[in-house]
Amino acid sequence: MGKRTIVKTEEEAKKASTPKDAVPSTSSDQKVTPGGASSKKRLDSGVLYVQSTYNNTKLLLTDTKGNAIFASSAGALGFKGAKKGTPFAAAKVGETLAAKAQPIGLKEVAVVVSGTGSGRESSIRGFISKGVFISSIKDVTPVPHNGPKPKKPRRV
């Protein structure tokens, strides 16, 4: 579930008369929020992985080392069936992921695109619409080179 932190104001700390009720003092500018709602980690640059298939579009935002920070997909936003593979759904995925990334201070991103779906470009455009600078775009879509050996003809 996560840690639960108790937030006490300075007045409540002064009212605590016995030493066992006293709370260790923290600096006045540092505030502790319940449930860990504050983001501890600031991120200036990261890597955005776009996986676009005919049926869905998935986006993954990582730091430069490759640790996943945020992820979203068209199915996670509520699009169902054939609508998940549309450019509109991909743009919405990009916008929501950029909105999640704004509180941690993301400014620059390198994009790695994989797949042949219709949401490749529109997901990136939706991501940039929130004011994130793109440093590079790399396409890592696997391309077959000659493929496997075909089966022998059937002898009857």
Domain boundaries along the sequence of the chain: 45-139
Following DSSP, what letter does each residue of 17-81 receive, concatenated?
Answer: -STTT------TT----GGG-S-----SEEEEEEEE-SS-EEEEEE-TT--EEEEEETTTTT--G
Give the pLDDT band (50/70/90) at residue 24. low
Residues 6+ away with beta carbon under 8 Å from 90: 52, 57, 74, 117, 118, 119, 120, 122, 123, 126
| Structure-token pair, residue 113 | 């695109």
- pTM of the full structure: 0.69
State how far the Cα of 40 lies from the Cα of 28, in Å rounded to an integer: 17
Q: What average pLDDT score do residues 126-130 get?
A: 90
**Tens-digit pLDDT profile for residues 73-109:** 999 999 999 999 999 999 999 999 999 998 998 889 9
Tell me, what's the pLDDT at 8?
67
The letter for the amino acid at 86 is T
Tell me, what's the pLDDT at 147?
85
Q: Judge whether 109 and 45 are in contact, CB under 8 Å.
A: yes
Give CATH for domain 45-139.
Answer: 3.30.420.80
Q: What average pLDDT score do residues 39-68 get?
A: 89
Tell me, what's the pLDDT at 10?
65
**Tens-digit pLDDT profile for residues 64-77:** 998 999 999 999 99
Q: What average pLDDT score do residues 22-38 get?
A: 47
